[in-house]
Amino acid sequence: MEPFCAFQTATKAVGKGRPRFGGGRVFTPQATVRFEKLIGWEAKVRMGNRKPTPHPVAVSIVITRKRPKKTKLPAPSGDTDNFVKSILDGMNGIVFVDDRQVVQMNAMKQWGEADMITVIVQERLAA
């Protein structure tokens, strides 16, 4: 089955930042906002003129971090679920109407030669 949307971007994943409070309002940290916009732009390029799917979706995400010359960590640091949240939020309204349509999720983080994010979205249509 061909993916509804698939893309790779050579960038370092940014986890969903905690909301910040200041000046009597709540706001999302700028690093998160920039990263979500980048993901959204990559998704728009792949989607072309297609509209977001209204159907349930399965999402697969692979987060690759460039391995430092010296590390004893078996996997990159950072919470996988926070990376996933910011990636899904970046695709809201572009690939799917809302990320609550995600009914199946597979996410992995790993070391590699360079920073890279790979995303595959497939519709889960009723049989």
pLDDT computed for residue 72 by the predictor: 86
pLDDT in tens, 31-64: 999 999 999 999 999 999 999 999 999 999 999 9
Global pTM?
Answer: 0.90
Q: Mean pLDDT score of the chain, rounded to an integer?
A: 92
Domains in the chain, please, with CATH? Answer: 5-123 (3.30.1330.70)
Distances (CA, A) of 92 to 32, 101, 114, 115, 118: 14, 10, 26, 23, 17
How sure is the predictor about 127, in pLDDT bands with cuts at 50, 70 and 90?
Answer: low
Percentages helix, strand, coil for the chain (3-state, rounded to 5) are 25, 35, 40
In whole angstroms, what separates CA 115 from the centre of its chain?
A: 14
